[in-house]
Every structure is written in structure tokens, then in C-alpha cells.
Amino acid sequence: MIYWEKAKEYLSLFLTQAQKYINKDTFAKVEKWLKSVSWKSPKAIGALALALVIVCGGIFYLSTTTSAVGIVVNGKTIGYAPNMTEAKQFVQAILSKHGEVAGTVAQTSDQIEYDRVRVSKEKFAASAISTEVLAGSITPFIQGYGLQVGEKIAVVMANEQDIDAVLAKYKDYFAKPSDKNSVSSAEIVESFTKVPIKANPSDVKNVDQALDILVKGDVAEKKYTVQQNDTLWAIARKNDMWVEELLAGNKGLTEDSVIQPGQEIKIVKTQPYLTVIAKGTKVVDEVIPFDVVTNTDSKLATGKSVVKQEGKDGEKIVTYNYVEKNGSIVDKQVVKEEVVTQPVKQIIAKGPARAPVYVGTSRGSGSVSGLIWPISGSITSYYGYRHGGFHTGLDIDGVTGQPYTAAAAGKVTFAGWDGGYGYCIIIDHGNGVATRYGHSSKLLVHVGDTVSRGQTIGLVGSTGRSTGSHLHFEVIINGSTVNPLSYL
């Protein structure tokens, strides 16, 4: 009977193991039944054998599988969590993380279900849910707000207050209020709306990011009709662009293309989303540039010059009312000017041969503003003393054949050969102000022509006394040259 005793022993051992998996009531019933069995009857032996098979099978099943909760997204199980609480926490954590940008919990339109299952321990280990997998399977959204300009959503933000905040910052970005700049009004020209929007959390911007996007702006395209005397360079200048930018917006157009008046050219450039018109009053310190008076002194040798009096810049405090469009002045009215120090004239005596000749330029108050650069390029020589002589203008680097334009509207009073200046143009702008353009390879205007600001008047060259192709540019006030940099 030793075998039966052994069998009983094993059975209770299994039952002890089984206790972990079977509920208490079932276990108690099985135990009670075992005690009641008469261990010598063949019926009992059969029942015992059957019970052994069932219990062993059950224990095997229970010990090789585990209970788990499958996370099912849109009908597809993407992984398992150990239990329901953890499964839900996993999903919640992902949505919370996505919602952080907007200070909320993100939502999703994906259908998420939880499936209580038993899976093999291997399968559970292989497909335990991970944050990466879950994040990749759920498409989150938040209820945000878009700033719509025209047809376009310029930027998506978490809420209306953020949009208001960025608009206020945008106005300040251009208006730049300070203790020297009292802004009386700053208004946005374009109409815009704040629209509720279902947004991908990764598209939601904070105030600084949104400001950056609005300022950088969007690509805008407009048509430009080529005018008489226009060049690609002049068109680029008129539109505040480089020739390369102009060409980039016009397929088939190259630097060597011949353009005809009336032809349409695309102006493609990025500009801020919104236009701020700011009005206010500014107080600024301004330099009063000194003038240079050159007197011909026949006692001096040719090309020699001597400073009789050193020039010195003056200073003034100017108060003016302004209207600005995205930071650029469109209207300016001086209301007060307080001279702190008067400038001191520079007086130079020059040998006779180098005395400049200004043909028929006007005389007047000499007040000048709004001169534009005749050419864009680096300055290779400044106004002032160099190599023992006095340089009466700016040398601006350029290549032969490159067009240059009039710095302001005026009348051509000289166009021709003028010794050291080579082929040269003088334009009288009235009020005692004139400009001179030297070393040209070609002149495109004649004496008596009226020119507009930005109009091409000649081509850069190296004629006259010149060591390389450049534009020699002078500003002349009442017959004396002044430093052009003070007026550009």
C-alpha cells in the first residue's frame, strides 16, 4: 500500500501548489472530497487518477500563462499591460504628455479598448506595451486656437489668450516702445480671426515660437511691370531685394536676360504675416555732420591740399512725430530740434588743377534727406584724407557694366568726360544739393534730362583716374562735398 501513500502525498503537494491558482472554496471542496474517499476501492483509484490528470494539466496551464490586459487601438492589439489599472495609466500618460504644450490632456479619435486575457508568459514578455509603441499608435489632438490671416492659418496655439499675447508682442516687436519712443497707437492692418481648431499637439506653438513665425512671415507674390530704363538690378533695388532673389522667383530669367518695358516679372519674397502701423513720438540724438569747404589756392601745387581748419560733427536732440509701417518710417514730422553743439566746418585749401568743377548746380538751404545708395556694394574708399590727398566721395565696389541709379530725383547738369572722374554725371536735386557719379563705362542720360530716384543713369566702369572698376559717388552741398555717409 506504499504506492497509494506516495500518490496521496504527491496529490497534496500539487494541491498546495494549486492553492496559488485555484480559489479558496474550490480548494476546500477538493480537499474535503479527498478525505472522504475510501482509498482502497478501484472506483476511488480511477477517480484519483482522473483528478491527478486534471490538476496537473491545470497547474501546467496556470504556471505557463499569465493574466494580462491587451490594449486594442482601432481593433488591433498593440501590446499587453499586466493589469487594467496599468493599461489605462499607460494610455493616460501618453495623452497627458501630448497635452503638456497646451497645459491640458490631449484627446484622441482613435478607438481604444481593453481586453482581459491570459497569454503565454513568452508572448507577454515579447509584447509588453511600451511608451514608444503606444505613442506611435495613437493620434492625439487638442482643442486649440488658430490665428487665421486671410485664407491661411498662420499659427496654432493652445488658447485664445496665447494668441492675444503673441499679437501684443508682435505689435511691440515693430513699434519698439521705450522711454525715448512713446507709442500712441499700434494697429494691425490686415483682418484676422481666432478660430477654434482640432490641432495636433506637435503643431501647437508657444508665444515666442509663434512670434518668430509671424515675423518671418510667408511667401508673397506680386507682379511687376518693367518700366523704361529698368534693369534687373534696379527692379531688385526698388523692391528691396537682391538680384539673386529676384531671379529665384522667375524661372527662365538669368542675369543676362534682356528685359523689355511692359514685360511682367514676378516679385516673390517672404514678408511678415501682419502689418503694424505704429504712431508716436521719438526723441533721438542726431549727429550734425560737418561740411567741407574746399577753396582753390593757386599757391599750392597741383593735387596738393592742406587742411586750414579741422571739421567736427555737431550734435542735436530731435523730437519728431512718426508713422511707421512694420518699423520703417513712412511719415516723419520734426516737432522740436535742440542743437547741443554746432558742427565746425572743415576748410581745405587745394591746388588749382584738382579743384572740382560743379556745373550749374543750384544753391539753397542744403537740407537733404532720402538719398538712396546708387549701387549696392562694399565701400573701398571712404570720404576724407587718403594718400596725402583728400577723397571727396565714396568709392563703392562694382563691376564694369553694372548699372547704377540716381540717389534722388533731379536734373542732369553734367554728363560727359571730366578729367580724373572719367565719364561722369552730376545731378542737381535742388535746394543746393547735387550728386556726382564718376568713372562710368557708359552714361545713359544727357544734360537736361529729368531723372527719378532709383532710375538707372549709367554703368560702372574704370574711366579717368581709377585703379579698378568702381563708382565714385559724391554728395555736394552748395558747391562743397560732404560725407555721403551722413546723408544715405
For Zn ion, the closer of residues 159 and 392 by Cβ is: 392
- Minimum gap (Å) between residue 396 Cβ and Zn ion: 9
For Zn ion, the closer of residues 207 and 424 by Cβ is: 424
The one segment of 76-84, 164-172, 310-318, 394-402 that binds Zn ion by CB under 5 A: 394-402
- Minimum gap (Å) between residue 391 Cβ and Zn ion: 6
Does position 472 bind Zn ion by CB under 5 A?
A: yes
CA 240 to chain centre: 17
The one segment of 24-32, 38-46, 96-104, 393-401 that binds Zn ion by CB under 5 A: 393-401
Q: Cell digits for 324?
A: 511707421
- Minimum gap (Å) between residue 423 Cβ and Zn ion: 14
For Zn ion, the closer of residues 145 and 404 by Cβ is: 404
Residue carrying C-alpha cell 527719378: 452
- Report whether 473 contacts 484 (CB < 8 A): yes
- Minimum gap (Å) between residue 446 Cβ and Zn ion: 23
Q: What b/e string do you get for 93-117 counting C-beta neighbours within 10 Å, with b at 16 or more?
A: ebbeebbebbebbbebeeebeeeee
- Minimum gap (Å) between residue 209 Cβ and Zn ion: 48
The one segment of 59-67, 162-170, 184-192, 471-479 that binds Zn ion by CB under 5 A: 471-479
- Report whether 50 contacts 57 (CB < 8 A): no
Q: What b/e string do you get for 163-197 counting C-beta neighbours within 10 Å, with b at 16 or more?
A: bebbbeebbebbbbeeeebebeebebeeeeebeeb
Q: Rounded CA gap, 196 and 160, in Å?
A: 9
For helices 42-64 and 2-18, angle between their N-to-C axes, nearest 10 degrees:
30
Residues of span 292-321 touching Zn ion by CB under 5 A: none
What letter does residue 85 receive in the DSSP assignment?
H
Contacts of residue 45, Cβ cutoff 8 Å, sequence gap at least 6 = none
For Zn ion, the closer of residues 171 and 472 by Cβ is: 472
Residues of span 405-464 touching Zn ion by CB under 5 A: none
DSSP 292-361: EEEEE-TTSPTT-EEEEE--B-EEEEEEEEEEEETTEEEEEEEEEEEEEE--B-EEEEE-GGG-----S-
For Zn ion, the closer of residues 329 and 353 by Cβ is: 353
Binding-site size for Zn ion (CB under 5 A) equals: 2
| Half-sphere exposure at residue 127, Cβ-oriented, CA atoms within 13 angstroms | 15
Residue number, nearest CB to Zn ion: 472
Does position 474 bind Zn ion by CB under 5 A?
A: no
Name the nearest CA neighbour of 290 among 313, 309, 316, 315.
313
- Minimum gap (Å) between residue 339 Cβ and Zn ion: 32
- Minimum gap (Å) between residue 168 Cβ and Zn ion: 49
For Zn ion, the closer of residues 229 and 441 by Cβ is: 441
For Zn ion, the closer of residues 65 and 381 by Cβ is: 381
- Return the SS3 of 209: helix
Among 162, 395, 428, 474, binds Zn ion (CB under 5 A): 395
For Zn ion, the closer of residues 90 and 414 by Cβ is: 414
- Minimum gap (Å) between residue 377 Cβ and Zn ion: 13
The one segment of 163-171, 190-198, 278-286, 472-480 that binds Zn ion by CB under 5 A: 472-480
Name the nearest CA neighbour of 190 among 172, 208, 209, 217.
217
- Minimum gap (Å) between residue 278 Cβ and Zn ion: 40
Does position 350 bind Zn ion by CB under 5 A?
A: no
The one segment of 42-50, 155-163, 194-202, 387-395 that binds Zn ion by CB under 5 A: 387-395
- Minimum gap (Å) between residue 395 Cβ and Zn ion: 4
For Zn ion, the closer of residues 23 and 378 by Cβ is: 378
Name the nearest CA neighbour of 364 among 483, 476, 484, 482.
476
For Zn ion, the closer of residues 386 and 446 by Cβ is: 386
Binding site for Zn ion (CB under 5 A): 395, 472
